[in-house]
Structure 1
Amino acid sequence: MEPKEAVAVVTGANRGLGRHPAIQLVERGAKVYAAARRPETVDLPGVIPLRLDVTDKESIPIAARAASDATPLVNNAGISTATPLIAGGLDAVRLEMETNFFRPLAVTRTFAPVIEGNGGGAVLNVLSWLHPADLGSHAAAEAAAWALTDAAREEMAPHGIAVSALHVGYMDTDMAAGVPADQKTDPADVAAQALYGIEMGMPEILADQTTRYVGQSLAALPNAA
Protein backbone atom coordinates (compact mmCIF):
# COMPACT_ATOMS: atom_id res chain seq x y z
CA MET A 1 0.00 0.00 0.00
CA GLU A 2 1.38 3.38 -1.04
CA PRO A 3 0.36 5.96 1.62
CA LYS A 4 -0.08 8.73 -0.94
CA GLU A 5 -2.67 6.59 -2.75
CA ALA A 6 -4.54 5.56 0.39
CA VAL A 7 -7.99 6.59 1.51
CA ALA A 8 -7.72 5.70 5.17
CA VAL A 9 -10.24 5.34 7.97
CA VAL A 10 -8.63 5.67 11.40
CA THR A 11 -10.87 4.96 14.39
CA GLY A 12 -10.27 6.82 17.63
CA ALA A 13 -8.36 9.47 15.67
CA ASN A 14 -9.17 12.37 17.97
CA ARG A 15 -6.77 11.36 20.74
CA GLY A 16 -4.00 9.01 21.86
CA LEU A 17 -2.26 6.88 19.27
CA GLY A 18 -5.00 7.40 16.69
CA ARG A 19 -4.06 11.02 16.05
CA HIS A 20 -0.61 10.11 14.80
CA PRO A 21 -1.33 7.76 11.87
CA ALA A 22 -4.00 10.21 10.76
CA ILE A 23 -1.52 13.11 10.82
CA GLN A 24 1.26 11.13 9.16
CA LEU A 25 -0.98 9.78 6.42
CA VAL A 26 -2.15 13.29 5.55
CA GLU A 27 1.47 14.43 5.46
CA ARG A 28 2.20 11.65 2.97
CA GLY A 29 -0.63 12.73 0.69
CA ALA A 30 -3.38 10.33 1.74
CA LYS A 31 -7.03 11.12 2.16
CA VAL A 32 -7.94 10.43 5.77
CA TYR A 33 -11.27 9.96 7.51
CA ALA A 34 -10.57 10.68 11.18
CA ALA A 35 -13.24 8.67 12.94
CA ALA A 36 -14.36 9.49 16.46
CA ARG A 37 -17.38 9.15 18.70
CA ARG A 38 -17.67 12.93 18.66
CA PRO A 39 -16.29 14.19 15.33
CA GLU A 40 -16.37 17.78 16.57
CA THR A 41 -13.41 16.87 18.81
CA VAL A 42 -11.21 16.10 15.80
CA ASP A 43 -8.82 19.04 15.42
CA LEU A 44 -6.32 17.62 12.91
CA PRO A 45 -5.62 19.68 9.77
CA GLY A 46 -6.38 18.06 6.44
CA VAL A 47 -8.55 15.19 7.67
CA ILE A 48 -12.25 14.53 7.18
CA PRO A 49 -13.98 14.12 10.58
CA LEU A 50 -16.21 11.04 10.59
CA ARG A 51 -18.65 9.94 13.27
CA LEU A 52 -17.98 6.33 14.16
CA ASP A 53 -18.76 5.17 17.66
CA VAL A 54 -17.60 1.57 17.96
CA THR A 55 -20.02 1.07 20.87
CA ASP A 56 -22.95 2.15 18.67
CA LYS A 57 -23.52 -0.54 16.05
CA GLU A 58 -25.87 1.72 14.10
CA SER A 59 -23.09 4.24 13.45
CA ILE A 60 -20.81 1.71 11.73
CA PRO A 61 -22.71 1.16 8.44
CA ILE A 62 -23.46 4.89 8.29
CA ALA A 63 -19.72 5.60 8.55
CA ALA A 64 -18.96 2.99 5.88
CA ARG A 65 -21.38 4.66 3.48
CA ALA A 66 -19.79 8.06 4.17
CA ALA A 67 -16.29 6.63 3.63
CA SER A 68 -17.25 4.54 0.62
CA ASP A 69 -13.84 5.08 -1.03
CA ALA A 70 -11.87 3.60 1.91
CA THR A 71 -8.91 1.31 1.28
CA PRO A 72 -6.98 0.90 4.57
CA LEU A 73 -8.80 0.68 7.90
CA VAL A 74 -6.98 1.29 11.17
CA ASN A 75 -8.86 -0.27 14.10
CA ASN A 76 -7.42 1.84 16.91
CA ALA A 77 -10.38 2.76 19.10
CA GLY A 78 -10.54 0.88 22.40
CA ILE A 79 -10.77 1.17 26.16
CA SER A 80 -9.08 -0.08 29.30
CA THR A 81 -11.06 -0.37 32.52
CA ALA A 82 -8.12 -1.63 34.61
CA THR A 83 -10.20 -4.61 35.70
CA PRO A 84 -8.66 -7.90 36.92
CA LEU A 85 -10.34 -11.06 35.69
CA ILE A 86 -10.92 -12.81 39.03
CA ALA A 87 -11.57 -10.00 41.49
CA GLY A 88 -13.03 -7.50 39.03
CA GLY A 89 -16.64 -6.98 38.08
CA LEU A 90 -17.94 -9.08 35.21
CA ASP A 91 -19.75 -6.10 33.71
CA ALA A 92 -16.41 -4.37 33.17
CA VAL A 93 -14.90 -7.56 31.72
CA ARG A 94 -17.80 -7.84 29.29
CA LEU A 95 -17.48 -4.16 28.38
CA GLU A 96 -13.83 -4.60 27.45
CA MET A 97 -14.54 -7.70 25.38
CA GLU A 98 -17.41 -5.94 23.64
CA THR A 99 -15.42 -2.78 22.91
CA ASN A 100 -12.01 -4.26 22.11
CA PHE A 101 -13.10 -7.44 20.31
CA PHE A 102 -16.68 -7.44 19.06
CA ARG A 103 -16.72 -3.82 17.92
CA PRO A 104 -13.48 -4.01 15.84
CA LEU A 105 -14.90 -7.22 14.38
CA ALA A 106 -18.10 -5.37 13.45
CA VAL A 107 -16.15 -2.49 11.91
CA THR A 108 -13.96 -4.90 9.92
CA ARG A 109 -16.95 -6.93 8.71
CA THR A 110 -18.66 -3.74 7.55
CA PHE A 111 -15.67 -2.17 5.82
CA ALA A 112 -14.30 -5.37 4.22
CA PRO A 113 -16.65 -5.29 1.20
CA VAL A 114 -16.02 -1.55 0.84
CA ILE A 115 -12.25 -2.06 0.72
CA GLU A 116 -12.59 -5.02 -1.66
CA GLY A 117 -14.85 -2.98 -3.92
CA ASN A 118 -12.20 -0.28 -4.11
CA GLY A 119 -9.61 -2.72 -5.39
CA GLY A 120 -8.32 -4.06 -2.08
CA GLY A 121 -6.31 -2.58 0.73
CA ALA A 122 -5.45 -3.28 4.33
CA VAL A 123 -6.73 -3.59 7.88
CA LEU A 124 -4.55 -2.78 10.88
CA ASN A 125 -5.56 -3.87 14.39
CA VAL A 126 -3.85 -2.21 17.37
CA LEU A 127 -3.06 -4.85 20.00
CA SER A 128 -0.86 -5.62 22.99
CA TRP A 129 0.87 -8.76 24.24
CA LEU A 130 1.17 -7.44 27.81
CA HIS A 131 -0.90 -9.50 30.28
CA PRO A 132 -0.56 -7.89 33.73
CA ALA A 133 -2.99 -9.21 36.33
CA ASP A 134 -4.49 -5.82 37.13
CA LEU A 135 -5.38 -5.36 33.44
CA GLY A 136 -6.63 -8.89 32.95
CA SER A 137 -9.87 -7.97 31.20
CA HIS A 138 -7.99 -5.81 28.72
CA ALA A 139 -5.41 -8.53 28.13
CA ALA A 140 -8.09 -11.14 27.47
CA ALA A 141 -9.84 -8.90 24.95
CA GLU A 142 -6.54 -8.13 23.22
CA ALA A 143 -5.72 -11.84 23.00
CA ALA A 144 -9.10 -12.48 21.40
CA ALA A 145 -8.49 -9.62 18.97
CA TRP A 146 -5.13 -11.15 18.01
CA ALA A 147 -6.89 -14.41 17.14
CA LEU A 148 -9.41 -12.36 15.17
CA THR A 149 -6.53 -10.70 13.30
CA ASP A 150 -4.88 -14.00 12.39
CA ALA A 151 -8.10 -15.62 11.23
CA ALA A 152 -9.27 -12.54 9.31
CA ARG A 153 -5.89 -12.33 7.56
CA GLU A 154 -6.39 -15.78 6.06
CA GLU A 155 -10.05 -15.17 5.28
CA MET A 156 -9.59 -11.81 3.58
CA ALA A 157 -6.37 -12.46 1.65
CA PRO A 158 -8.23 -13.88 -1.37
CA HIS A 159 -10.22 -10.63 -1.47
CA GLY A 160 -7.12 -8.45 -1.78
CA ILE A 161 -7.14 -7.26 1.82
CA ALA A 162 -3.98 -7.60 3.91
CA VAL A 163 -4.50 -7.75 7.68
CA SER A 164 -1.76 -6.65 10.08
CA ALA A 165 -1.42 -6.64 13.85
CA LEU A 166 0.35 -3.71 15.51
CA HIS A 167 1.67 -4.98 18.85
CA VAL A 168 2.74 -2.34 21.35
CA GLY A 169 3.11 -2.01 25.10
CA TYR A 170 2.68 1.22 27.02
CA MET A 171 2.56 4.46 25.03
CA ASP A 172 2.65 8.06 26.17
CA THR A 173 -1.12 8.51 26.02
CA ASP A 174 -3.93 9.15 28.49
CA MET A 175 -4.60 5.40 28.76
CA ALA A 176 -1.12 4.90 30.28
CA ALA A 177 -1.03 8.09 32.32
CA GLY A 178 -0.01 6.22 35.49
CA VAL A 179 2.89 4.37 33.88
CA PRO A 180 6.43 5.76 34.46
CA ALA A 181 7.69 7.78 31.51
CA ASP A 182 10.70 5.55 30.91
CA GLN A 183 8.37 2.60 30.25
CA LYS A 184 6.36 4.37 27.56
CA THR A 185 6.92 4.69 23.82
CA ASP A 186 6.31 7.82 21.75
CA PRO A 187 3.01 7.23 19.89
CA ALA A 188 4.30 9.18 16.88
CA ASP A 189 7.11 6.63 16.53
CA VAL A 190 4.65 3.77 16.90
CA ALA A 191 2.47 5.27 14.16
CA ALA A 192 5.45 5.59 11.83
CA GLN A 193 6.32 1.94 12.36
CA ALA A 194 2.70 0.97 11.78
CA LEU A 195 2.51 2.79 8.45
CA TYR A 196 5.79 1.28 7.33
CA GLY A 197 4.49 -2.17 8.27
CA ILE A 198 1.29 -1.67 6.30
CA GLU A 199 3.25 -0.40 3.31
CA MET A 200 5.52 -3.47 3.45
CA GLY A 201 2.61 -5.88 4.00
CA MET A 202 3.97 -7.07 7.35
CA PRO A 203 1.52 -9.38 9.18
CA GLU A 204 2.97 -8.56 12.63
CA ILE A 205 4.44 -5.16 13.55
CA LEU A 206 6.31 -5.09 16.86
CA ALA A 207 6.57 -1.46 17.85
CA ASP A 208 8.67 -1.36 21.01
CA GLN A 209 11.45 -3.24 22.78
CA THR A 210 9.15 -4.84 25.34
CA THR A 211 6.95 -6.25 22.61
CA ARG A 212 9.92 -7.51 20.63
CA TYR A 213 11.16 -9.30 23.76
CA VAL A 214 7.75 -10.92 24.25
CA GLY A 215 7.71 -11.92 20.60
CA GLN A 216 11.10 -13.60 20.93
CA SER A 217 9.90 -15.39 24.06
CA LEU A 218 6.79 -16.66 22.28
CA ALA A 219 8.88 -17.90 19.38
CA ALA A 220 11.19 -19.73 21.78
CA LEU A 221 8.42 -21.67 23.54
CA PRO A 222 8.93 -25.43 23.16
CA ASN A 223 6.31 -27.47 21.37
CA ALA A 224 3.71 -28.89 23.71
CA ALA A 225 4.28 -32.57 24.56
Structure 2
Amino acid sequence: MTDIKDAVVLVTGANGGLGREFVHQALARGAAKVYASARTPRPAQDWGDERIVPLALDVTDPESVAKAAAEAADVTVVINNAGASTGASLLADLDAARTLFDTNFWGQLQVANAFAPVLAANGGGALLNVLSVLSWLGIADAYSATKAAFWSATNTQRLALAEQGTQVVGLHLGYTDTPMTAGIEAEKNDPADVVAAAYDGLVAGAAEVLADETSRQVKAGLAAPVEVLYAPFAG
Protein backbone atom coordinates (compact mmCIF):
# COMPACT_ATOMS: atom_id res chain seq x y z
CA MET A 1 0.00 0.00 0.00
CA THR A 2 1.10 3.55 -0.72
CA ASP A 3 0.10 6.59 1.30
CA ILE A 4 -0.55 9.83 -0.58
CA LYS A 5 0.20 11.95 2.49
CA ASP A 6 3.66 13.52 2.07
CA ALA A 7 4.09 11.72 -1.28
CA VAL A 8 5.63 13.33 -4.36
CA VAL A 9 3.20 12.61 -7.18
CA LEU A 10 3.65 12.84 -10.95
CA VAL A 11 0.49 13.07 -13.06
CA THR A 12 0.79 12.72 -16.83
CA GLY A 13 -1.89 14.33 -18.97
CA ALA A 14 -2.53 16.76 -16.13
CA ASN A 15 -4.29 19.32 -18.34
CA GLY A 16 -7.24 16.98 -18.98
CA GLY A 17 -10.33 16.49 -16.85
CA LEU A 18 -9.20 13.31 -15.14
CA GLY A 19 -5.61 14.57 -14.87
CA ARG A 20 -6.62 17.79 -13.14
CA GLU A 21 -8.68 15.78 -10.70
CA PHE A 22 -5.70 13.53 -9.92
CA VAL A 23 -3.64 16.66 -9.19
CA HIS A 24 -6.20 18.32 -6.92
CA GLN A 25 -7.12 15.19 -4.98
CA ALA A 26 -3.47 14.31 -4.38
CA LEU A 27 -3.06 17.71 -2.71
CA ALA A 28 -6.29 17.27 -0.76
CA ARG A 29 -4.88 13.99 0.59
CA GLY A 30 -1.72 15.70 1.76
CA ALA A 31 0.79 15.19 -1.04
CA ALA A 32 3.95 17.21 -0.48
CA LYS A 33 4.37 18.01 -4.19
CA VAL A 34 2.60 17.23 -7.45
CA TYR A 35 4.28 17.42 -10.84
CA ALA A 36 1.49 18.39 -13.24
CA SER A 37 2.88 17.22 -16.57
CA ALA A 38 1.68 17.64 -20.12
CA ARG A 39 3.15 18.25 -23.56
CA THR A 40 2.48 21.94 -22.89
CA PRO A 41 1.92 22.23 -19.13
CA ARG A 42 -0.28 24.86 -17.56
CA PRO A 43 1.76 27.70 -15.99
CA ALA A 44 2.29 27.52 -12.24
CA GLN A 45 0.17 30.63 -11.61
CA ASP A 46 -2.83 28.98 -13.26
CA TRP A 47 -2.80 26.20 -10.67
CA GLY A 48 -2.70 28.57 -7.70
CA ASP A 49 -0.82 26.21 -5.36
CA GLU A 50 2.92 26.32 -4.77
CA ARG A 51 3.00 22.55 -4.26
CA ILE A 52 2.13 22.06 -7.96
CA VAL A 53 5.13 21.99 -10.28
CA PRO A 54 4.39 22.20 -14.03
CA LEU A 55 6.52 19.73 -15.97
CA ALA A 56 6.90 19.40 -19.75
CA LEU A 57 6.46 15.76 -20.70
CA ASP A 58 5.49 14.39 -24.11
CA VAL A 59 4.93 10.66 -23.59
CA THR A 60 5.61 9.97 -27.28
CA ASP A 61 9.08 11.57 -27.15
CA PRO A 62 11.75 9.43 -25.41
CA GLU A 63 14.02 12.45 -24.86
CA SER A 64 11.19 14.40 -23.23
CA VAL A 65 10.36 11.46 -20.95
CA ALA A 66 14.00 10.98 -19.94
CA LYS A 67 14.39 14.70 -19.23
CA ALA A 68 11.26 14.70 -17.07
CA ALA A 69 12.51 11.69 -15.08
CA ALA A 70 15.79 13.50 -14.42
CA GLU A 71 14.00 16.70 -13.33
CA ALA A 72 11.49 14.89 -11.13
CA ALA A 73 13.92 12.58 -9.36
CA ASP A 74 12.01 12.80 -6.06
CA VAL A 75 8.79 11.20 -7.34
CA THR A 76 7.24 8.43 -5.25
CA VAL A 77 3.91 7.97 -7.07
CA VAL A 78 3.41 7.98 -10.85
CA ILE A 79 -0.09 8.40 -12.27
CA ASN A 80 0.16 7.19 -15.88
CA ASN A 81 -2.91 9.07 -17.10
CA ALA A 82 -2.02 10.60 -20.49
CA GLY A 83 -4.03 9.17 -23.36
CA ALA A 84 -5.85 9.90 -26.59
CA SER A 85 -8.94 8.81 -28.49
CA THR A 86 -8.80 9.54 -32.22
CA GLY A 87 -11.31 7.21 -33.82
CA ALA A 88 -8.50 5.24 -35.48
CA SER A 89 -9.42 1.83 -36.86
CA LEU A 90 -7.51 -1.44 -37.03
CA LEU A 91 -9.49 -2.23 -40.18
CA ALA A 92 -8.68 0.94 -42.11
CA ASP A 93 -5.75 3.32 -41.65
CA LEU A 94 -3.08 1.41 -39.74
CA ASP A 95 -0.83 4.48 -39.66
CA ALA A 96 -3.47 6.22 -37.54
CA ALA A 97 -3.73 3.16 -35.31
CA ARG A 98 0.06 3.10 -34.85
CA THR A 99 -0.03 6.77 -33.85
CA LEU A 100 -2.67 6.00 -31.23
CA PHE A 101 -0.55 3.13 -29.89
CA ASP A 102 2.37 5.56 -29.62
CA THR A 103 0.40 7.55 -27.05
CA ASN A 104 -1.77 4.98 -25.30
CA PHE A 105 0.71 2.10 -25.15
CA TRP A 106 4.32 2.82 -26.06
CA GLY A 107 4.21 6.26 -24.46
CA GLN A 108 2.88 4.82 -21.21
CA LEU A 109 5.61 2.19 -21.18
CA GLN A 110 8.26 4.85 -21.75
CA VAL A 111 7.02 6.76 -18.73
CA ALA A 112 6.92 3.63 -16.57
CA ASN A 113 10.39 2.49 -17.65
CA ALA A 114 11.92 5.94 -17.11
CA PHE A 115 10.42 6.38 -13.65
CA ALA A 116 10.79 2.81 -12.34
CA PRO A 117 14.41 3.48 -11.25
CA VAL A 118 13.26 6.76 -9.67
CA LEU A 119 10.60 4.92 -7.67
CA ALA A 120 13.10 2.26 -6.64
CA ALA A 121 15.57 4.90 -5.45
CA ASN A 122 12.82 6.55 -3.39
CA GLY A 123 11.68 3.39 -1.61
CA GLY A 124 9.49 1.66 -4.16
CA GLY A 125 6.41 3.84 -4.30
CA ALA A 126 3.61 3.20 -6.75
CA LEU A 127 2.68 3.23 -10.43
CA LEU A 128 -1.00 3.68 -11.27
CA ASN A 129 -1.99 3.05 -14.89
CA VAL A 130 -5.26 4.50 -16.15
CA LEU A 131 -6.88 1.76 -18.23
CA SER A 132 -10.53 1.38 -19.24
CA VAL A 133 -13.46 -1.00 -19.28
CA LEU A 134 -12.62 -1.07 -23.00
CA SER A 135 -9.47 -3.00 -22.05
CA TRP A 136 -11.88 -5.96 -22.06
CA LEU A 137 -14.28 -4.97 -24.85
CA GLY A 138 -13.22 -4.52 -28.47
CA ILE A 139 -16.09 -2.16 -29.27
CA ALA A 140 -13.89 0.94 -29.62
CA ASP A 141 -11.67 -0.44 -32.38
CA ALA A 142 -8.03 0.69 -32.13
CA TYR A 143 -8.65 2.46 -28.82
CA SER A 144 -9.81 -0.81 -27.26
CA ALA A 145 -6.72 -2.54 -28.64
CA THR A 146 -4.41 0.04 -27.07
CA LYS A 147 -6.05 -0.36 -23.68
CA ALA A 148 -6.05 -4.16 -23.90
CA ALA A 149 -2.31 -4.09 -24.62
CA PHE A 150 -1.76 -1.65 -21.76
CA TRP A 151 -3.73 -3.88 -19.38
CA SER A 152 -1.50 -6.82 -20.26
CA ALA A 153 1.60 -4.66 -19.81
CA THR A 154 0.32 -3.47 -16.43
CA ASN A 155 0.09 -7.07 -15.24
CA THR A 156 3.65 -7.68 -16.44
CA GLN A 157 4.87 -4.53 -14.67
CA ARG A 158 3.18 -5.63 -11.44
CA LEU A 159 5.18 -8.85 -11.41
CA ALA A 160 8.44 -7.31 -12.59
CA LEU A 161 8.45 -4.31 -10.22
CA ALA A 162 7.36 -6.19 -7.10
CA GLU A 163 10.99 -7.01 -6.32
CA GLN A 164 11.85 -3.31 -5.99
CA GLY A 165 8.80 -2.72 -3.79
CA THR A 166 6.75 -0.81 -6.34
CA GLN A 167 2.97 -1.20 -6.13
CA VAL A 168 1.42 -1.36 -9.61
CA VAL A 169 -2.29 -0.56 -9.88
CA GLY A 170 -4.55 -0.84 -12.91
CA LEU A 171 -7.53 1.55 -12.92
CA HIS A 172 -10.55 0.53 -15.01
CA LEU A 173 -13.43 2.90 -15.67
CA GLY A 174 -16.34 3.34 -18.03
CA TYR A 175 -17.30 6.54 -19.82
CA THR A 176 -16.33 9.51 -17.65
CA ASP A 177 -17.26 13.16 -18.08
CA THR A 178 -14.04 14.56 -19.57
CA PRO A 179 -13.22 16.42 -22.80
CA MET A 180 -12.29 13.08 -24.41
CA THR A 181 -15.88 11.85 -24.12
CA ALA A 182 -17.60 15.14 -24.95
CA GLY A 183 -19.19 13.76 -28.12
CA ILE A 184 -20.47 10.53 -26.59
CA GLU A 185 -24.12 10.29 -25.61
CA ALA A 186 -24.08 7.97 -22.61
CA GLU A 187 -24.30 8.02 -18.85
CA LYS A 188 -20.92 9.17 -17.53
CA ASN A 189 -18.99 8.98 -14.30
CA ASP A 190 -18.00 12.06 -12.35
CA PRO A 191 -14.18 12.33 -12.65
CA ALA A 192 -13.99 13.12 -8.92
CA ASP A 193 -15.57 9.75 -8.07
CA VAL A 194 -13.17 7.87 -10.35
CA VAL A 195 -10.08 9.54 -8.93
CA ALA A 196 -11.28 9.06 -5.35
CA ALA A 197 -11.72 5.34 -6.04
CA ALA A 198 -8.25 5.21 -7.61
CA TYR A 199 -6.52 6.81 -4.65
CA ASP A 200 -8.57 4.75 -2.17
CA GLY A 201 -7.41 1.59 -3.93
CA LEU A 202 -3.81 2.77 -4.02
CA VAL A 203 -3.81 3.45 -0.28
CA ALA A 204 -5.52 0.12 0.43
CA GLY A 205 -2.84 -1.81 -1.46
CA ALA A 206 -5.07 -2.87 -4.35
CA ALA A 207 -3.61 -4.33 -7.53
CA GLU A 208 -6.67 -3.35 -9.58
CA VAL A 209 -9.41 -0.76 -9.11
CA LEU A 210 -12.79 -1.13 -10.81
CA ALA A 211 -14.09 2.41 -10.48
CA ASP A 212 -17.72 1.90 -11.50
CA GLU A 213 -20.47 -0.66 -11.87
CA THR A 214 -19.88 -1.00 -15.60
CA SER A 215 -16.28 -2.07 -15.03
CA ARG A 216 -17.31 -4.50 -12.30
CA GLN A 217 -19.98 -6.09 -14.49
CA VAL A 218 -17.76 -6.44 -17.56
CA LYS A 219 -14.85 -7.85 -15.54
CA ALA A 220 -17.19 -10.43 -14.00
CA GLY A 221 -18.54 -11.25 -17.47
CA LEU A 222 -15.14 -12.19 -18.87
CA ALA A 223 -15.70 -15.74 -17.68
CA ALA A 224 -18.76 -16.06 -19.95
CA PRO A 225 -18.61 -17.30 -23.57
CA VAL A 226 -17.49 -14.47 -25.83
CA GLU A 227 -20.79 -14.44 -27.71
CA VAL A 228 -22.57 -13.81 -24.40
CA LEU A 229 -20.19 -10.99 -23.44
CA TYR A 230 -20.71 -9.25 -26.79
CA ALA A 231 -24.45 -9.94 -27.16
CA PRO A 232 -25.46 -6.44 -25.92
CA PHE A 233 -23.33 -4.89 -28.68
CA ALA A 234 -24.46 -7.09 -31.58
CA GLY A 235 -25.91 -5.17 -34.51
Give the TM-score band, short-chain normalised. over 0.9
C-alpha RMSD of matched pairs (Å): 1.5
Matched, 1:33 2:35: yes
Preserved contact between residue 15 and residue 42 of structure 2 (Cα < 8 Å): no
Find the residue that maps to 1:216 and give its secondary structure: helix
Q: 2:80 corresponds to which letter in structure 1?
A: N
Match of 2:71 in 1: 66
Find the residue that maps to 1:64 and give its secondary structure: helix
Q: 2:217 corresponds to which letter in structure 1?
A: Y
Residue of structure 1 aligned with 2:90, choices 81, 85, 88: 85
Matched, 1:153 2:191: no
Match of 2:217 in 1: 213
Q: 2:47 corresponds to which letter in structure 1?
A: L
Tell me how far apart the structure 2 counterparts of residues 151 and 112 of structure 1 sit (CA, whole Å): 13
Tell me how far apart the structure 1 counterparts of residues 124 and 86 of structure 2 sit (CA, whole Å): 35
Q: How many residues are matched? A: 219
Return the offset for 1:41: 5.5
TM-score (norm 2): 0.89
Match of 1:12 in 2: 13
Matched, 1:121 2:122: no
Residue of structure 1 aligned with 2:60, choices 55, 61, 69: 55
Matched, 1:192 2:196: yes
Preserved contact between residue 129 and residue 143 of structure 1 (Cα < 8 Å): no
Preserved contact between residue 9 and residue 35 of structure 1 (Cα < 8 Å): yes
Preserved contact between residue 132 and residue 139 of structure 1 (Cα < 8 Å): yes
Tell me how far apart the structure 2 counterparts of residues 40 and 3 of structure 1 sit (CA, whole Å): 23
Tell me how far apart the structure 2 counterparts of residues 221 and 74 of structure 1 sit (CA, whole Å): 34
Task: Answer with 136-145 or 43-52: which moved more.
Answer: 43-52
Task: Answer with 36-45 or 167-176: which moved more.
Answer: 36-45
Preserved contact between residue 60 and residue 106 of structure 2 (Cα < 8 Å): no
Find the residue that maps to 1:5 and give its secondary structure: coil
Q: 2:216 corresponds to which letter in structure 1?
A: R
Matched, 1:98 2:99: no
Structure 2 unmatched runs, 5+: 227-235
Match of 1:141 in 2: 146
Aligned sequence identity (%): 49
TM-score (norm 1): 0.93
Tell me how far apart the structure 2 counterparts of residues 3 and 57 of structure 1 sit (CA, whole Å): 28
Preserved contact between residue 9 and residue 34 of structure 2 (Cα < 8 Å): yes
